[in-house]
Amino acid sequence: MKGIVLLVLSWTLFSLCNAQTSLPEIRVKTTNGKEIKLSDFAKSGKPLVISFWATWCNPCLEELEAIADCYESWKKKCDFEFLAISIDDSRSSGKVKSVASGKRWPFKVLIDENQEIMKAMNVSEVPFCFIINKKGVAVYRHSGYIPGDEITLLKEIKKVSNE
Amino acid sequence: MNRLTIILLLVFCPFSYLQSQNKGHFSGSFQSTSHYYVNDRILSTIAPDNPWASNNYMQLNYNWGPITAGLQYEAYMPPLSGFPYQLEGNKITNRFIRITKGIIDITAGNFYEQFGNGLILRAFESRELGINNSLDGVRVILRPAKFLRITGIYGRQRKFMDVGNNYIRGIDADILIDSLLNTSLNLKLGAGIVSRHEKYTGTLSDFPSTVNASSIRLSLNNENLEINSEYVYKSDDPTLTNQYSNKCGSSFLLNGSWFKEGLGMFMSLRFLDNMDFRSERESEGLYSMVNYLPANTRQHSYMLTNIYPYSTQSAGETSFQGEINYTFSGTGIRFNYSHAGENIMTSSGRDLYFQDINLEISKKWDTRFKTIITYVNLMYDKKLLEAPVYDFVKSNIVIADLRYRISSVLSLRGELQHLWTKQDHGNWAAALAEIGYAPHWSLFVSDMTDYQWNQNVHYMNFGLGYSSNFARISFGYGRQREGLICVGGICQRVPSYKGFNLKLNVNF
């Protein structure tokens, strides 16, 4: 009996490893208080990069600052959309626009105040980065930030962009 | 075959069959944190009989067009040190099905929700503290027009590994006024009411079984300005926490920010009066909270800045916070002033609970070298916030965070920290060194000591982490300081321990 159970679970886990993640039909808040479906961003036909961050998370700020520094040159190399989704709760969500403007970030910033999108995308800690391909499927994930991760990120965006 | 195996088979098989037929998308995550405790000769702490403790979470989501279904399995075997013992065990704690089609969004089962700023309702999860206030019931969100959203909820709150007996119901709406008036200024008006019913079986005739909390809010913003305000009123709610007072509760929150490229300013003012709102009147501490009252202070992340963290005083408090972010030619400045004291609307307002004045200057010297220097002046009423035997603590903290890139993938980071105080444990010193080899490896070693209090005690830790495309694993060993761990404004006291830790995160 144990053998059958193991076989079924192995088959299941194998299919999980090949699983494709679509963007949830959940609405995310823009910095001007409006709501927009996250899945709408995948309709542009461009690769979509999503980075989950928070104003109190030092590695998140370091990662986004590194990306902001190279953002213009990246955009010249490949066409993609970048979303920085803040998971700040009501303690600090009011600071999100102030921090993003103060740091001159050139990309779109959105707010997931009750971490609904974060949960729907199975993210349990920040920073966490996804690349969603043109079909709306998550093809790259990365947890944490080590200086230099942005180089791998660019390589992966290029790969997805050329698909 | 045990119950868990049957559940896993029942859940996995149909989902993976549908997945193989390309009918929808399967996704999930697994998070595991395990500790192995050892005896600590220096702090005289003894490892428990079972030195292993492990918190585990598996989340599975299945999405097929407008339908999403999911579940969360949790196993605390037993819970990590500092987590509530009531969590011990394992089971599927959360499950839900959600249908989003056109103007309707319905969830049956467990759901998370927040009304407005959370002052009357926030159902959320914080794995760091062992909190999961999800509601088990039904949520309906209607969007009959572009300018209108109405949310209705009805359910019972999760209580540790089970569900509480009392009902929470509520309705909330947002109206985008600018859509109606055709103005360029974004204007939003919102209102909500939450009601908790807990049967009263005592002898008092006027004791309320039902407690209502209602709020009204207004927010406006344009290209450079954002203002958000909320007023809350709570009916009389005699509980163990407020010593069965019949007093009604109220709160007012005003947030404002002004920003342009390179400069962002933020301020927040909040009054609280008897705003503790729980699903059970006899509960205490962090659990069974219906609303969310975070500390209106800056959330720090360096080691020594978290020795004296503020936790919200829901019985009565006035808090103010102002922050400036400014960037110019490779230099970033972040200044924050946070203040919390007596509620000036209901008392003299003279007593100071907490004050934090901090300045952070970051400088990018070249493409390889960056420094962040932080100064914090902190005042903390430890006798009010922890126990009457303690002093009022005045402290100064200086932190130097140095980052150097040896190559495009190899980096070094060092932190030097010092805290000066004449009260409590006296001065503290801390240091951290970290080496990163992108995109996979990181290694750190840190130490922290209250050298004036006990020269022999070093809270030394080291850790090694590995990240891949879908997983992150880290291993560490060290001594944890006794103290408060805080998420938002909610804090939990954790005991000191020494031992090994292993953490695994998988996202698929």
d(CA B53, CA B69): 30
User: What does the pLDDT look like over B445-467, one tens digit per residue?
Assistant: 999 999 999 888 999 999 999 99
Distances (CA, A) of B150 to A56, B52, B171, B240, B275: 31, 47, 7, 33, 24
- Model confidence at A24, in pLDDT bands (50, 70, 90)? confident
How far apart CA B294 and CA B311 sit, in angstroms, is 8
Burial A40-63 (b: 16+ CB within 10 A, else e): ebbeeebbbbbbbbbbbbbbbbbb
A58-94 tens-digit pLDDT: 999 999 999 999 999 999 999 999 999 999 999 999 9
Token pair in block for residue B107: 């969830």
Distances (CA, A) of B338 to B73, B318, B378: 39, 11, 9
- pLDDT at A39 (0 to 100): 86
pLDDT of residue B14: 57
Task: Measure the CA–CA gap between B489 and B227, rounded to whole angstroms.
Answer: 22
Asked if the structure places residue A2 within a domain, the reply is no
Residue B92's nearest CA partner among B2, B155, B3, B26 is B3
Most confident stretch, A26-30, B65-69, B415-419: B415-419
| CB-based contact A119 B409, cutoff 8 Å | no
Q: Which residue of B has its CA nearest to A37?
A: B100
Look at residue B264 and give its three-state secondary structure.
strand
Residue A37 lies in a domain: yes
ipTM metric: 0.92
Q: Is the pLDDT of residue B5 over 90?
A: no
The answer, yes or no, to whether residue A15 has pLDDT greater than 60, is no
Contact list in B for residue A7 (CB cut-off 8 A) is none
A36 in any annotated domain: yes
Write the CA distances from B44 to B47, B369, B391, B497, B501, integer angstroms.
10, 42, 25, 10, 20
Tell me how many helices (H) and strands (E) chain A has: 5, 7
What are the residues facing A27 on neighbouring strands?
A37
Distance CA B3, CA B9 (A): 10
Specify burial of residue A3 (Cβ count, 10 A radius: 0-12, 13-18, 19+): exposed
CATH of the domain at A106: 3.40.30.10
Q: What whole-number percentage of chain A has pLDDT above 90?
A: 68
Measured in angstroms, the CA of A73 and the nearest CA of chain B are apart by 15
Judge whether A145 lies within some domain: yes
Q: What pLDDT shows up at residue B57?
A: 98
**Residue-wise pLDDT tens digits, B36-62:** 999 999 988 899 999 999 999 999 999
A28 is a domain residue: yes
Domain presence at residue A11: no
Task: Please indicate whether residue B417 or residue A32 has the higher confidence score (pLDDT).
Answer: B417
Q: How many domains does chain A divide into?
A: 1
Q: Which residues of B touch A143 (CB under 8 A)?
A: 467, 471-472, 505, 507
Q: Which residues of B touch A156 (CB under 8 A)?
A: none
Can you read off the two tokens belonging to residue B320? 């103010």
B5 contacts in chain A (CB < 8 Å) = 5
Q: Which of B385, B264, B402 is nearest to B333 (CA)?
A: B264
Q: Is the pLDDT of residue B248 over 50?
A: yes
B117 contacts A19? CB cut-off 8 A: no
What was the pLDDT predicted at B239? 93
Q: Does A18 map to a domain?
A: no
In a domain, A29, yes or no: yes
With contacts defined as CB-CB under 8 Å, which chain A residues touch B326?
A: 102
**Above 50 in pLDDT, residue A19?**
no
**pLDDT mean over B218-225:** 92
Closest chain B CA to residue A119: B59
How many angstroms separate the CA atoms of B193 and B280, rounded? Answer: 18
pLDDT at B171 over 60: yes
**B282-328 pLDDT, tens per residue?**
998 888 999 999 999 999 989 999 999 999 999 999 999 999 999 99
Contact flag B125-A148 (C-beta cutoff 8 Å): no
Mean pLDDT score of chain B, rounded to an integer? Answer: 92
Name the pTM for this structure: 0.92
The fraction of chain B above a pLDDT of 90, given in percent, is: 80
Q: State which residues form the domain around A72.
A: 23-161
| Other CB atoms within 10 A of residue B282 CB | 10
Question: In which band, very low, low, confident or very high, does the pLDDT at A17 lie, cut at 50, 70 and 90?
Answer: very low
Contact at CB, A90 and B114, closer than 8 angstroms? yes
- For B369-397, what is the mean pLDDT? 95
Residue B4 pLDDT more than 70? Answer: no
User: Per the structure block, which two tokens stand in for A64?
Assistant: 């986004």
Q: What share of chain B is helix, strand, coil (3-state, %, to 5)?
A: 5, 60, 35
The answer to whether the CB atoms of B467 and A32 lie below 8 A apart is: no
